[in-house]
């Protein structure tokens, strides 16, 4: 597996896309309104089995997770790869970030830094910032602490920050990429207006983005907290608020405490609990745990009382939760099961401290700092915590309640392989459920043998995406090995290829100078792509091809393009078909039959949607049919490359 394949194999497309789009499960796929064009009915489909996405609406294209990130972030292949590699925790060895790329990233940090400076100054002496200062005073945050955390104030105007940053040399596109500005129909405007600003730094102390709290309590429509949108330097799943400040305290105590909010962290640090960081309201991710375990031997999650009953530790993430099997391998969100897995696979003790009902860390610390200290000292190991929580949730005086407890706890325990640890919890579970340890042990092996659990020890199956796409590769090998095809092929749309590596190579091939031919052409492509793509490029240039004359090569090329076009239509047909079946089932066959007989449907939005889906499905079917007729008459059997 080369590095690109490894990055793809380590991440799950549903999880990555789920960070940008609210995906909804639909059969074996997920659907959503397409993030790349405007629509109400979803025509954007993500298929975990193939690790691919497809929009069968206006875009009519698809790809893998790298192409998705490229398109969504408007970034180059290499930048998307770097972002995803970091997320997957993979070091790219051949990595040589181009100096241009490096400069662009640095600029984003610098823009954020400049914004933080400016917001900070306004908080100190701007008249309009009075409500922000008042709020901090109410929450007991003094000027010194506010300065230490670089708190700031964003003015209410639509373009105050934009004007300031433009004056000191930043461009609109940079503000957009840094997530500081938003582009709408009426132009660019500031993302943060009239808010208390919390600069968020990465573990190296660079300002990656912001959290922002509203100061207008009557503003019922706006969110209380917002933060920087995902950007090339801001990925919430890999950041912990105040980690940079807390690193010293965490090292000294050997313990990191994770809370949810900015204010909780600030209150803690103000009271000399300087080992506290915040997950910023997202689910705790694997990357965050990785950041902490480098410096801590114990991680304590401070959870509010109702978190005990939730599946995902800290906060749930509905889409990912469904796809979660074992967080160690793929999904970055840490579930209870995942936490139990960490407990024994990594050198870190994971504990849980539950806050008193209805109170957050901020309240506890301010009311009585010593209560916070004993709360954290009294944190219990994840498995104990989960067993207690489940035991409390079921009525153990009934056999049904006891059975449920066993069935819910055993899959978590199944992650633990240490026989001594297992035995200890089986004993406790046995007492709680009045069941013999031998019976529980047998149930445990069944739990371990479930498909989900077995993934733990089984070697990771090679995902379809890593196997490469034979048809696409045949096309590229043709182009690379038959330079005479250049003119025929310059118009080939890159979107025809769904594999991001192939797409990047085609783009590079199209971009090299017209005078390029033969060996020089391959060199040209090599120079234009990141080094991670070199192994792939080499494989294609060495791929054994039939001995075509130029006429046959042309025919093979045209044929291959046709097949790829048809593949797109087939994917579209499949997607509309599946969606249609689902919607038809929702609406009901009798209603549809009535509609077909000409009843009034204007006012019925749902019905109208189903009917237009039907029409689209039929159109795609016709296009596909025409293709088949067309191909049947013209295609020449050249090579078995389908």
Q: Which residues contact 129 (CB under 8 A, 6 or more apart)?
A: 122, 123, 153, 155
CA distance 288 to 246: 14
CB of 57 vs Zn ion, minimal distance in Å: 5
**Does residue 37 touch Zn ion according to CB under 5 A?**
yes
Toward Zn ion, which CB reaches closer, 53 or 372?
53
Toward Zn ion, which CB reaches closer, 57 or 120?
57
**Does residue 42 touch Zn ion according to CB under 5 A?**
no
Return the residue matching tokens 């046709």. Answer: 562
CB of 76 vs Zn ion, minimal distance in Å: 21
CA distance 286 to 89: 9
CB of 623 vs Zn ion, minimal distance in Å: 17
**Does residue 57 touch Zn ion according to CB under 5 A?**
yes
Closest CA to 591 of 577, 604, 576: 604
**Does residue 579 touch Zn ion according to CB under 5 A?**
no
**Does residue 477 touch Zn ion according to CB under 5 A?**
no
Binding to Zn ion in span 231-260, by CB under 5 A:
none
Closest CA to 118 of 46, 184, 42, 210: 210
Strand extents, DSSP E, 121-172: 152-154
Question: How would you class 347 by CB atoms within 10 Å of its CB: exposed for 0-12, middle for 13-18, buried for 19 or more?
Answer: exposed
- Stretch in the footprint of Zn ion (CB under 5 A) among 31-39, 70-78, 283-291, 552-560: 31-39
**Does residue 45 touch Zn ion according to CB under 5 A?**
no
How many residues are present in the chain?
A: 642
Strand extents, DSSP E, 124-166: 152-154
**Does residue 575 touch Zn ion according to CB under 5 A?**
no
- Stretch in the footprint of Zn ion (CB under 5 A) among 58-66, 267-275, 365-373, 608-616: 58-66
Closest CA to 89 of 278, 286, 372: 286
CB of 406 vs Zn ion, minimal distance in Å: 47
CB of 34 vs Zn ion, minimal distance in Å: 3
**Does residue 121 touch Zn ion according to CB under 5 A?**
no
Toward Zn ion, which CB reaches closer, 32 or 334?
32
Q: Which residues contact 19 (CB under 8 A, 6 or more apart)?
A: 230, 237
**Does residue 34 touch Zn ion according to CB under 5 A?**
yes
DSSP-assigned letter for residue 495: G
CA distance 356 to 274: 21
**Does residue 313 touch Zn ion according to CB under 5 A?**
no
* List 36, 135, 225, 534, residue binding Zn ion (CB under 5 A): 36
Cβ proximity of 232 and 273 under 8 Å: no
- Stretch in the footprint of Zn ion (CB under 5 A) among 55-63, 270-278, 311-319, 450-458: 55-63
Toward Zn ion, which CB reaches closer, 59 or 611?
59
Q: Is 213 helix (H, G, I), strand (E, B) or coil?
A: strand
**Does residue 431 touch Zn ion according to CB under 5 A?**
no
Toward Zn ion, which CB reaches closer, 37 or 294?
37
**Does residue 485 touch Zn ion according to CB under 5 A?**
no
Toward Zn ion, which CB reaches closer, 39 or 253?
39
DSSP-assigned letter for residue 482: -
**Which segments of 434-512 does DSSP mark as H helices, in order?**
437-449, 451-454, 470-481, 486-489, 500-511
Toward Zn ion, which CB reaches closer, 336 or 498?
498
**Does residue 59 touch Zn ion according to CB under 5 A?**
yes
**Does residue 20 touch Zn ion according to CB under 5 A?**
no
CA distance 300 to 315: 15
**Does residue 568 touch Zn ion according to CB under 5 A?**
no
Size, binding site for Zn ion by CB under 5 A: 6
CA distance 600 to 598: 7
Site of interaction with Zn ion (CB under 5 A): 34, 36-37, 55, 57, 59
């Amino acid at each position: 597996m080369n590095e690109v394949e490894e990055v793809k194999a380590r991440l799950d497309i549903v999880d990555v896309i789920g960070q940008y789009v609210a995906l909804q499960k639909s059969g074996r796929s997920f659907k959503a309104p397409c993030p790349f064009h405007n629509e109400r009915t979803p025509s954007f489909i993500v298929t975990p089995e193939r690790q691919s996405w497809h929009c069968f609406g206006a875009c009519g294209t698809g790809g893998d997770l790298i192409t998705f990130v490229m398109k969504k972030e408007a970034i180059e292949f290499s930048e998307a790869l770097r972002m995803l590699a970091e997320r997957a925790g993979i070091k790219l060895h051949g990595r040589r970030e181009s100096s241009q790329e490096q400069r662009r990233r640095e600029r984003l940090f610098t823009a954020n830094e400049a914004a933080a400076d400016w917001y900070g100054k306004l908080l100190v002496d701007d008249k309009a910032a009075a409500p922000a200062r008042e709020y901090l005073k109410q929450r007991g945050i003094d000027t010194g602490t506010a300065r230490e955390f670089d708190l700031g104030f964003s003015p209410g105007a639509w373009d105050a920050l934009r004007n300031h940053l433009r004056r000191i040399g930043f461009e609109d596109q940079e503000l957009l990429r840094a997530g500081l500005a938003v582009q709408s129909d009426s132009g660019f405007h500031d993302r943060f207006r009239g808010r208390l600003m919390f600069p968020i730094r990465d573990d190296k102390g660079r300002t990656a983005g912001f959290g922002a709290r509203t100061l207008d309590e009557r503003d019922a429509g706006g969110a209380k907290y917002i933060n920087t949108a995902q950007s090339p330097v801001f990925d919430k799943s890999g950041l912990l608020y105040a980690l940079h400040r807390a690193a010293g305290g965490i090292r000294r105590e050997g313990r990191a405490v994770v809370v949810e909010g900015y204010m909780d962290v600030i209150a803690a640090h103000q009271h000399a609990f300087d080992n506290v960081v915040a997950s910023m309201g997202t689910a705790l991710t694997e990357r965050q745990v990785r950041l902490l375990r480098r410096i801590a031997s114990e991680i304590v999650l401070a959870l509010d009382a109702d978190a005990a009953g939730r599946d995902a530790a800290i906060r749930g993430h509905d889409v990912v939760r469904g796809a979660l099997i074992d967080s160690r391998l793929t999904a970055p969100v840490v579930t209870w099961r995942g936490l139990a897995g960490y407990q024994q696979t990594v050198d870190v003790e994971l504990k849980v401290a539950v806050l008193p009902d209805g109170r957050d860390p901020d309240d506890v610390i301010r009311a009585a700092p010593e209560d916070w200290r004993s709360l954290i000292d009294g944190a219990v190991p994840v498995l104990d915590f989960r067993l207690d929580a489940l035991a409390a949730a079921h009525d153990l005086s009934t056999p049904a309640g006891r059975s449920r407890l066993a069935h819910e706890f055993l899959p978590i325990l199944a992650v633990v392989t240490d026989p001594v640890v297992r035995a200890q919890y089986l004993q406790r579970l046995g007492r709680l459920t009045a069941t013999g340890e031998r019976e529980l042990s047998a149930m445990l092996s069944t739990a371990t043998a479930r498909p989900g659990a077995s993934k733990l020890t089984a070697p990771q199956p090679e995902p379809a995406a890593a196997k490469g796409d034979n048809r696409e590769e045949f096309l590229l090998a043709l182009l690379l090995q038959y330079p005479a095809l250049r003119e025929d092929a310059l118009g080939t749309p890159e979107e025809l290829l769904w594999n991001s590596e192939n797409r990047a190579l085609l783009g590079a091939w199209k971009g090299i100078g017209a005078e390029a031919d033969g060996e020089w052409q391959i060199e040209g492509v090599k120079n234009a792509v990141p080094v991670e793509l070199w192994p792939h490029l080499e494989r294609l240039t060495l791929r054994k091809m039939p001995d075509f004359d130029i006429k046959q090569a042309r025919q093979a090329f045209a044929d291959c393009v046709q097949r790829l076009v048809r593949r797109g239509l087939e994917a579209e047909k499949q997607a509309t078909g599946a969606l249609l079946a689902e919607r038809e089932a929702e609406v009901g066959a009798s209603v549809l039959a009535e509609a077909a007989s000409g009843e009034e449907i204007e006012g019925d939005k749902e019905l109208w949607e189903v009917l237009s889906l039907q029409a689209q499905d039929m159109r795609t079917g016709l296009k596909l049919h025409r293709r088949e007729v067309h191909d049947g008459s013209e295609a020449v059997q050249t090579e078995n490359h389908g």
